[in-house]
Amino acid sequence: MIYTYGVSLPGTYHIKHDIVCQDSFMIIQLGKEISIAAVADGLGSAEHSDIGSKIAVTVTTEHCRQYIATAKKASDILDIIRAAFFAAQKAIEKEAAKQDHAIEHYDTTLTLAVLIRDTLYYGHSGDSGIIALTTQGRYEPVTKQQRDPEGRVFPLFFTDKWEFGRYSEKVSGVLMATDGMLETFFPIYIKNDPVSNIHVSLAQFFMDKKSLRIDEVGQKAVEARMKEYMEAIPDEKVNDDKTIVVLINPSIRTKRQGKEYYQEPDWAELKRKHDEAWRREAYPGLFKDAKSPADPAPTSVSMDTSTPATTEPSATQPPHKSKARKALYAVVPIFVVLAATFVWIYAATSPEEYDGNGYHTSQAAEPPPTPATQQTDEYEDYENDINPDEASEYAPEQEHIEERDDQA
């Protein structure tokens, strides 16, 4: 059975400036084996984007609920998701015309997931995103944030940016988040890590069935716990609206990686290395171990001793110019040392960063602290394991349909 939960909170920036929460989400459960979920983030520059995000998640999930049972193959499911995106776009256009508003006032992102037992289908537009927990026990990004070179997001009406797909690996969990929370999973200090660029211990906190115990304590208890954690995230870490939606199938057997994979990184050391790399790139001449240009080739010296060397200035180098050049050589090093000292003091400060929302901060990339999560053996224990041959039909069971939405 698939369990779900979702939390949406207004960002501290929105609260301080009396701006309505522009995030929305919706979850629909069809029977025990199908979950449909969507998250949307209205653009801060759009006056009615909160309405746009609400329409987007409501229309797309409802469209999928109506038609998903008719799908016979994977391509059919992707066609349904694509049609749901067009339906959301049309519904927003209709609302804008009804209110006599410009369509751009309703700009929003939209990310949708359909989880059928252990298979993930998705549609994506904008800078929200999806993270999957694979059956190999790894947390992997499914989507990429869609922004232009200046960091501006491509909203739903950029139809040429839409992405649809069936995730290549089997999964036991899916996390969806709007950009305020999504970026906490991808700190700048590990973005180029060859092993994993995801803050694994944070993803595990939100998605690991052992730590959540959602099948034991229930969805409401898990939501309350996650809400408490998200409310406590420091303002300097996340000040945008915060939305998380998680779909978990505890019956899917999931392998465990080695303990080091789940360990909390040493953020202080990672930050030190990041800052030093930045300084070395910006001011390579300030580091003693920096590579210097190749020494010039030695000049050949005549072995003829018949004419003794002289220190007399040549006819082309008058005595007064030689003395002036020597004085200049004596003064220049002093200026170089002073300039280098000034630059070193400037470079010693932490390099400035910009978070995904354009807010200027030197700590934007460092994630919030993560509560400890329980470690288990190579494979997670699981209950009610479902044999694929005995699995329930994927057809929707209307009496079990559960719909939930939230907009803070």
Backbone phi, psi, residue 246, to 5°:
-130, 135
pLDDT at 371: 63
From the DSSP assignment, how many helices (H) and strands (E) are in the chain? Answer: 11, 13
pTM: 0.73
pLDDT at 276: 87
> With 80 as the cut, is the pLDDT of residue 147 above it?
yes
pLDDT at 193: 79
Torsion of CA 81, 86, 92, 98, to 10 degrees: -140
Query: Does 353 or 191 have the greater pLDDT score?
Result: 191
- Of the candidates 106, 100, 136, 89, which has an alpha carbon nearest to the alpha carbon of residue 255? 136
- Show the domain range for 107: 3-264+370-406
Q: What is the mean pLDDT of residues 220-224?
A: 94
| Domain-embedded: residue 270 | no
Q: How confident is the model at residue 305 (pLDDT cuts 50, 70, 90)?
A: very low
| Domain-embedded: residue 306 | no
Q: How confident is the model at residue 211 (pLDDT cuts 50, 70, 90)?
A: confident
Q: What is the mean pLDDT of residues 339-359?
A: 48
DSSP E strand stretches across 298-395? 353-354, 360-361
Q: What is the CATH number of the domain that holds 133?
A: 3.60.40.10
Highest mean pLDDT among 195-199, 228-232, 383-387: 228-232
- CA 297, 300, 301 angle in degrees (round to 5)? 140
Which element (helix H / strand E) includes 139?
Answer: strand 139-141
Query: Does 281 or 101 have the greater pLDDT score?
Result: 101
**Average per-residue pLDDT for the chain:** 80
Which element (helix H / strand E) includes 244?
Answer: strand 242-248
> With 70 as the cut, is the pLDDT of residue 70 above it?
yes
> With 80 as the cut, is the pLDDT of residue 319 above it?
no
Q: How confident is the model at residue 399 (pLDDT cuts 50, 70, 90)?
A: very low
| Domain-embedded: residue 362 | no
pLDDT at 279: 86
pLDDT at 373: 47
| Domain-embedded: residue 21 | yes
| Domain-embedded: residue 294 | no
| Domain-embedded: residue 181 | yes
160 — alpha (psi -120 to 50), left (phi > 0) or beta?
alpha
Work out how many domains the chain is built from and give that number.
Answer: 1
pLDDT at 243: 97
For tokens 């050391």, the residue is 269
| Domain-embedded: residue 131 | yes
| Domain-embedded: residue 97 | yes
DSSP state of 255: B
> With 70 as the cut, is the pLDDT of residue 27 above it?
yes
> With 60 as the cut, is the pLDDT of residue 53 above it?
yes
> With 70 as the cut, is the pLDDT of residue 60 above it?
yes
